[in-house]
Copies of this chain bind each other. A is one copy, B any other.
Amino acid sequence: MKNFNFCVPTDIRFGRDQIECLPTELKKLGTSVLLVYGGGSIKLTGLYQKIMALLKDDFIIYELPGITPNPRINAVRAGVRICKKNKVDVILAVGGGSCIDASKAIAAGALYDGDPWDLVLDKTKVKGALPIADVLTISATGSEMNPGAVISNEETKEKLELNTPVLYPHLSILDPTYLFTLPKRQTAAGTADIISHVFEQYFQKGDGAFITDRLCESVLKTCFHYGPIAMAEPDNYEARSNLMWAATLGLNHILTVGKGGAWSCHPMEHELSAFYDITHGVGLAILTPAWMRYVLEKDPGTAARFAMYGRNVWGIMDNKDGDEYAVGYEVDAEAATAAAKKAIERTADFFREMGLPSKLSEVGIGSEHFEEMAKEAVRTSGIASRSYVPLDASDIVAIYRSCE
């Protein structure tokens, strides 16, 4: 295992009616609150009214509605202005990863004198942040228990990550019943996002981190088991609760300890979202099987890990003599490659079964920006140097083309 630090201080309150703790816990962080939310679905579900009723007596509440998917730096700037003008103590995000990510950038921007986009470009300029609490209504990004925020800049067509320890939320309220009203396409895209987060961490050199690989497989099994159940029965508490916790564990650092390396599908997808504003999880579902096929072809040595994935997650047992848990297909490269291909196609089938597209044309993306997007993916990430199979711009264009 590689050396690692692990310190995840977020206070998670998980389950039905955990919202009741909000007044008590929020008061520990302050009484002047900026409420950050999205398009207003929380008013339709009654969550907005519930929170207002809980907070009305002891808190001053300012509001920043209208946070969009792929949250924009302009919304962050608006939030920062409210915080500075009103001496806000604490940010309360109510929504999904976009609301939490915007809130993190606002929290850091509120304690910074310049334009908050400076902080996205250079996190060393972050000198502190207001405390953040959140009530999660879409489960996917894991933002509720990590210190990262992805912010888009429409003018420069950039979508970049700000990640620094002061941005861990202090309090995250996760009530799976809030997911009951999610549209199917969001359930599908969210599940694809969780799965991709796990893949990005799992498909790295093992470095002897057996335990971390097993934990990754546990979260993948959970997604594959409960994704279809949540699609068919949106109010299935068991499915929603397992997926909700899978999303949190998917990106709270526990699946990467002892391993590590740059990600692959996320930087390629971030360009799709930046250029075309498509749903992140949809882009990932399209790119992931294409990326898998491409890297298996480019580096046949990856077959062992893809076959291990197939064996431990999907029960694909082509090589019965291999080690049951660890990378163990080296003994028979042909069997490993066959198992790897089956595992990849099983993954593609899963995304299709979830109703997700498998081609860029299905989401209105043509080939016009492939080169430009590929160059940006290389420029803004470690994909060409530190990812599982390093890919340059021409590789990325080839992967985009295979999804046309």
A residues neighboring B (CB under 8 Å):
1-18, 176, 208-212, 214-215, 217-219, 221-222, 225-226, 237-238, 241-242, 245-246, 249, 254, 257-258, 315, 324-326
Contacts and interface: CB of A to CB of B under 8 A. Distances in A.
Listed residue (A209, A211, A237) with the most chain B CB atoms within 10 angstroms of its CB: A211
Contact of A208 (B9, B217, B242): B242
B11 A7 contact: yes
Nearest to A12: B6
Given A208-B241, A218-B218, 16 more contacts: A1-B237, A1-B238, A1-B245, A3-B16, A6-B12, A6-B14, A7-B10, A8-B8, A210-B238, A211-B246, A211-B249, A212-B245, A214-B217, A214-B218, A241-B258, A254-B254
Nearest to A214: B218
B10 A4 contact: no
A209 B176 CA distance: 13
A9 B12 contact: no
Nearest to A224: B325
The secondary structure that dominates the A interface is mixed
How many protomers of this protein does the assembly include?
Answer: 2
A15 B6 CA distance: 11
B238 A257 contact: no
Contact of A215 (B12, B218, B325): B218
Contacts of A245: 1, 211-212, 257-258
Contacts of A237: 1, 208
Nearest to A207: B238
A111 to B, nearest CB: 21
Nearest to A212: B245
A303 to B, nearest CB: 22
A128 to B, nearest CB: 16
10 contacts: A1-B241, A1-B242, A2-B15, A7-B12, A14-B257, A208-B241, A209-B242, A211-B242, A214-B218, A245-B257
A218 B313 CA distance: 12
Listed residue (A16, A209, A241) with the most chain B CB atoms within 10 angstroms of its CB: A241
A222 B210 contact: yes
A276 B212 CA distance: 38
